[in-house]
Amino acid sequence: MPFDLFGLHDSLQDKTNRELIHVYAVIPRFSKTSSRKNKIAAEIIDKLRAINNKLNKQIGFCWKDEWFDGMPIKLKKASSKDWFIGRSSIPLMAIKQLAQFDCQKELNEIYEIAEYFCSTTGKVFCIPKQLDEDLAYLVGAILGDGHLRLKNLEIYFSQKEEKDVKKFQEKYNRVFCTDATCKKRTPKNKGTEFYLKQSCKPIVRFLERFFEIPRGKKSHIIKVPEVIKNSEKRIKLAFLEGVFDTDGCIRKKGFRLTTASLEFRNDLCVLLKSLGEKGYVDEWINKKYHKKYYGLQYSVRNIDFIAGIG
């Protein structure tokens, strides 16, 4: 099932004008150099012009009044001129609003060719329409030891081992067509840490919207996303690899994982059981933090990547 990228806007969550225009379908300014982004932009503009011509004939030039009146925020109608000539990006909510004019066929065609999205900063990202192994791994790793920052809509991922962040970086850049890099820092009294950090509003919204990853503090409220639960074996394995790479360790009796979220622990047990694994769970109060933690222990047999976890 493909992701409804035109549904990145959530009318229940997006309450302000700024929130509603965080994510755009990309129709960049044209340049002299030929690129895949410009080719896709030109095709989208052609589709928008076809819709404009169709509705001008069917309804008249006044159709745009109804179009703008139906949008959740107030925009200047003059903005549409720039959208139709490719001088600026058209907001996703404006594209989605065209469905009220019996343009579903044209909207489906735009969806099929749309790949690149940008935020109000103008930074361009590719947002995937289908769930694959690389994306499933990233979701698992972010739930394990990543962070979607609340205020500036950043993605942040850190580990003690450089190779772990490099692995995350490779998959992240491949999935979202970006150029994030692994960096190093040494916080006081904490030792060396490697991390990847990028401000990326469309990606944060994508992960939040379709994978239920909360922004801000999340350790006690995370869960396995429904889209992962309902996926095929190869996707579940890639997701578990991301989780295990960040939160797992090998003990004498097998593989061990600890989490502050009861729901996440139980969801992981269900996934492992669906793959033919059997183990046990436990829970305890951490005396230092006065918080309850939940563990699972598995003597894994059918998961090849476990051998690479230290």
Residue type, 98: L
Report domain extents, the chain: 5-126, 133-308
Radius of gyration, CA atoms only, the chain: 22
Cα–Cα dist 205/8, whole Å = 7
Task: Give the HSE-up count for residue 35: Cα atoms under 13 Å, Cβ half-sphere.
Answer: 11
175 CB-contact burial (10 Å; exposed 0-12 / middle 13-18 / buried 19+): buried
Cα–Cα dist 92/310, whole Å = 44
Q: What is the dihedral of CA 219, 221, 223, 227, to 10 degrees?
A: -120
Per-residue pLDDT for the chain (310 aa), expressed as one digit of tens each? Answer: 578 888 777 766 676 776 666 667 766 655 555 678 888 888 888 999 999 999 999 999 999 999 999 887 778 888 888 888 878 888 888 888 898 998 999 999 998 988 888 876 667 889 999 999 999 999 999 999 899 987 778 999 999 999 999 999 999 999 999 999 999 998 777 788 999 999 888 899 899 999 999 999 899 999 999 999 999 999 999 999 999 888 877 766 677 888 999 999 999 999 988 888 878 888 989 888 788 999 988 876 556 665 455 4
CATH class of 133-308: alpha beta
**How far, CA to CA in Å, does 254 sit from each of 212, 263, 309?**
30, 22, 11
- Determine contact, residues 60/130, Cβ cutoff 8 Å: no
